[in-house]
Structure 1
């Protein structure tokens, strides 16, 4: 089976590392995959760190990759907004409700928190409160479109599982009777953009991650193979209740090169 596949997409947090700790064997695993001839791309829904910060973190943990191999949800959103702006042939007004670290990624667009064309929603930590939720509701209900950098349900931290921004995205969709444009995994356009940039088909691609919904399920819907690792946010009860059936379930990323070599 390994000969059929050319590209491996790899989730970051929970798959290669948790916080600032490498998943044991992850660095060696990535090196072995390169030796086996696979093209690698590193995909993340993390929206609290800029591309440069994420890249620097991976290098500091010992991973070897080129900057263009790392693709984040904010970069995907920026590309989407650029395409919309070009199509509309006018400057877009946006309100980026995102971490301060990634606001520069959207600097080319006009800032407007009164009458924006788009609200861009990402992780903002402890800044959520009822006043912000009501402002978002009124802007979106009043006509602004919502771009969510992802819609993850929960994520793994060094202190355990925490609810993710999917909680707020789903709530805003419900009260505004609108669907958000979701960037990042499991958005099909996000996956397609990555595959097209490499020139590889879904049938030649494997997605590896700790999220059975965003990583495995999203990839399989597009025709890719999905590999679930039992690190990060993996929980056995959630796995048992899921309708998603991964093509591989591994103890960790450290097992992947050997499994693919034997396939």
Structure 2
């Protein structure tokens, strides 16, 4: 089977699919659009992932760019929706990746440093579980009526304490994003050259049936521009998020399958890591023709299925 061939598995014989199933030991599976929609499992998806573990002995991890929940909260959702993962160790999320990164960083001291979060409260909850203090998450910060931006800057940043001991700026999806938050992040990053600058993901837009809304990439782009620093992405498609598993040998990229619904993020991640890829049509690409039209612009999957449940007859 050729790499990047976008082969529809339903066109293959049972023997060919069986041979394909033997080509990997570990599975990384996306969440939204692949196995669930919001808080509802996509029909058949739990049965497939459970069978891959229980019948074929595959090791399954859920990997998501969802920065609105902690790793434990995502694990609890997976259990509630019928996915039988052994523990929350099998959840790879940007909030947990950020916390793990800071814990391991020689430049970040949990006893002294705190984190400024431009993002939602889940980031603060994850950091707290790792013994890291933070501020700003889930809060609003806007110019008061009649307040001018020079007054805000002088009042908030005139005191050196405003940036003291802030060892990291973390950016996630933030419905309360504002000029004040961007200014505070810029001040901290410029005042502390050694501070970490991390982002949950660079998803440009969140798509809903009738409309699109700006994703985290829109927020971090403004902060990068004014601070003249580049954020480190802690989600797909950055291979960095797999280092804890690859360094220990728990995961071998060449024997791993990435399942997802997005060419740019999921299939791009598989390509970056040297993994096999399976694209399902329950998210952004509902048919194989749309996938093939992206050839030359975005990485192509090795295999395609209209829905993950279509794999069940082969298990």
> How high is the TM-score relative to the length of structure 1?
0.86
Q: Are 2:282 and 1:231 aligned? A: yes
Displacement of 1:235 after TM fit? 6.7
Question: Among residues 249, 262, 273, which one is paired with 1:211 in the alignment?
Answer: 262
Displacement of 1:84 after TM fit? 0.9
Q: Distance in 2 between matches of 1:179 and 1:20?
A: 33
Q: Aligned residue for 1:171?
A: 222
Q: Are 2:71 and 1:51 aligned? A: yes
Partner deviation per Cα, 1:138-175 (whole Å, 9 max, x = no partner):
33344443100111122345765433101112332233
Greater alpha carbon shift after TM alignment, 25-34 vs 172-181: 172-181
Counterparts of 1:130-149 in structure 2, within 5 Å, are 130-143=179-192, 144-149=195-200
Unaligned runs of 5+ in 2: 1-19, 137-161
Greater alpha carbon shift after TM alignment, 185-194 vs 141-150: 141-150
Unaligned runs of 5+ in 1: none
- Aligned to 1:117, what secondary structure does the other structure show? strand
Checking the alignment, whether the CA contact within 8 Å between 2:124 and 2:135 is kept in structure 1 is no
Displacement of 1:229 after TM fit? 1.4
Q: Aligned residue for 1:152?
A: 203
Q: Are 2:118 and 1:97 aligned? A: yes
Partner deviation per Cα, 1:78-127 (whole Å, 9 max, x = no partner):
11101114777974332123321331221222446731221011122x21
- Aligned to 2:251, what secondary structure does the other structure show? coil
Question: Among residues 234, 259, 267, which one is paired with 1:183 in the alignment?
Answer: 234
Question: Among residues 222, 230, 235, which one is paired with 2:273 in the alignment?
Answer: 222
Displacement of 1:42 after TM fit? 0.7
Q: 1:167 to 1:63 in 2, by over 3 A?
A: same
Q: 1:258 to 1:222 in 2, by over 3 A?
A: farther
Partner deviation per Cα, 1:3-45 (whole Å, 9 max, x = no partner):
2210000011111111122112111111221212211011111
Q: Distance in 2 between matches of 1:219 and 1:22?
A: 23
Q: 1:208 to 1:160 in 2, by over 3 A?
A: farther
Q: Aligned residue for 2:81?
A: 61
Partner deviation per Cα, 1:184-225 (whole Å, 9 max, x = no partner):
211111123234456231100011111212211122122111
Q: Distance in 2 between matches of 1:103 and 1:94?
A: 9
Q: Aligned residue for 2:293?
A: 240
> How high is the TM-score relative to the length of structure 2?
0.73
Counterparts of 1:75-94 in structure 2, within 5 Å, are 75-85=96-106, 91-94=112-115
Checking the alignment, whether the CA contact within 8 Å between 1:152 and 1:165 is kept in structure 2 is yes
Give the greater-gyration-radius structure (CA).
2
Q: Distance in 2 between matches of 1:128 and 1:175?
A: 15
Q: 1:118 to 1:59 in 2, by over 3 A?
A: same
Partner deviation per Cα, 1:228-249 (whole Å, 9 max, x = no partner):
1122233776873333111112
Checking the alignment, whether the CA contact within 8 Å between 1:40 and 1:69 is kept in structure 2 is yes
Q: 1:111 to 1:39 in 2, by over 3 A?
A: closer
Q: Distance in 2 between matches of 1:36 and 1:247?
A: 21
Greater alpha carbon shift after TM alignment, 87-96 vs 202-211: 87-96
